[in-house]
């Protein structure tokens, strides 16, 4: 009997590596991405290409509009911070945080998992080399998983409980890149930048680009990212 999982895919480095891990564990992967009002539209094309290349059973792109609420540099007319030091990145929650984003994404994934009779959701959150987002922490994922098993028919009546898998949550960017490279991930297809240009070239200066650059450098692996 096949194993079924819903995998959240943004088109970035972490989520693509997570999809590769799920595939390597022989899950049938149903992939979900979001057009949520993000200023960076190029990442969705990356996600489509990656889902096809990595053999997703189905790829759904969900339309929601978090621009309604704004308050994030990813969805509002707010400058993306550039050139921040490690100390600055570790100090507080940055303006690139999108309010409740992972809670919303996981809710959609949970609904689809119920329909598919999937008992696993994969999400590429990371609590080591990240920008301090509260919805990337282990305690958040644990609480959400508990809620999911209280809130769904599958959780109450089903033979197995839902598990939210976060295989990268305690990994550094260097470790993530090495894991993905060993699994054959083509990182030239991914985009991590918070502020790319219309051609998909990364800015090289936002928090995400800085962490990505450092990860490739420390891993001793050539960085295939197109920087402008």
DSSP 227: B
Q: Name which residue leads in pLDDT, 77 or 131.
A: 77
Indicate whether 65 pLDDT > 80.
yes
pLDDT tens, residue by residue, 28-46: 999 999 999 998 889 999 9
DSSP calls for 82-126: BS--HHHHTSS--TT--TTHHHHHHHHHHHHHHHHT--EEE----
Residue 158 confidence (pLDDT) = 84
Q: What is the mean pLDDT of residues 49-69?
A: 98
pLDDT tens, residue by residue, 73-120: 999 999 999 999 988 988 899 999 999 999 999 999 999 999 999 999
Half-sphere exposure (CA, 13 Å, Cβ side) for 207? Answer: 21
Helix ranges (H only) for the chain are 13-24, 42-53, 86-89, 101-116, 138-151, 153-157, 173-182, 207-219
Residue 184 confidence (pLDDT) = 98
Residue 176 confidence (pLDDT) = 98
pLDDT tens, residue by residue, 174-207: 999 999 999 999 999 999 999 999 999 999 999 9
Sheet holding 120-122, edge to edge: 58-63, 27-35, 3-8, 120-122, 163-165
pLDDT tens, residue by residue, 145-165: 999 999 999 899 988 899 999
Indicate whether 213 pLDDT > 90.
yes
Indicate whether 131 pLDDT > 80.
no
Task: With cut-offs at 50, 70 and 90, classify the pLDDT of residue 133.
Answer: very high
For 188, the 3-state DSSP assignment is helix
Q: How many CB atoms lie within 10 A of CB 39?
A: 16
For 77, the 3-state DSSP assignment is coil
């Amino acid at each position: 009997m096949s194993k079924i999982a819903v995998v959240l895919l943004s088109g970035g480095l972490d989520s693509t590596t997570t999809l590769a891990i799920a595939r390597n564990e022989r899950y049938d992967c149903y992939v979900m991405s979001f057009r949520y009002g993000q200023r960076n539209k190029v990442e969705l094309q990356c996600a489509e290409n990656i889902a096809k290349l990595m053999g997703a059973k189905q790829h759904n792109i969900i339309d929601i509009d978090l621009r309604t609420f704004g308050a994030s540099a990813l969805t509002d007319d707010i400058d993306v911070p550039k050139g921040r030091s490690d100390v600055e990145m570790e100090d507080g929650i940055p303006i690139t945080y999108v309010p409740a984003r992972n809670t919303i994404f996981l809710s959609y994934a949970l609904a689809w998992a119920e329909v598919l009779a999937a008992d696993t959701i994969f999400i590429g959150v990371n609590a080591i080399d990240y920008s301090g987002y509260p919805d990337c922490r282990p305690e958040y994922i644990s609480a959400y998983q508990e809620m999911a098993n209280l809130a769904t028919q599958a959780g109450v009546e089903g033979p197995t409980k839902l598990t939210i898998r976060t295989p990268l949550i305690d990994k550094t960017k260097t470790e993530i890149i090495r894991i993905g490279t060993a699994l054959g991930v083509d990182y030239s297809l991914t985009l991590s930048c918070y502020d790319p240009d219309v051609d998909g070239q990364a800015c090289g200066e936002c928090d995400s680009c800085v962490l990505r650059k450092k990860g490739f450098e420390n891993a001793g692996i050539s960085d295939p990212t197109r920087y402008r």
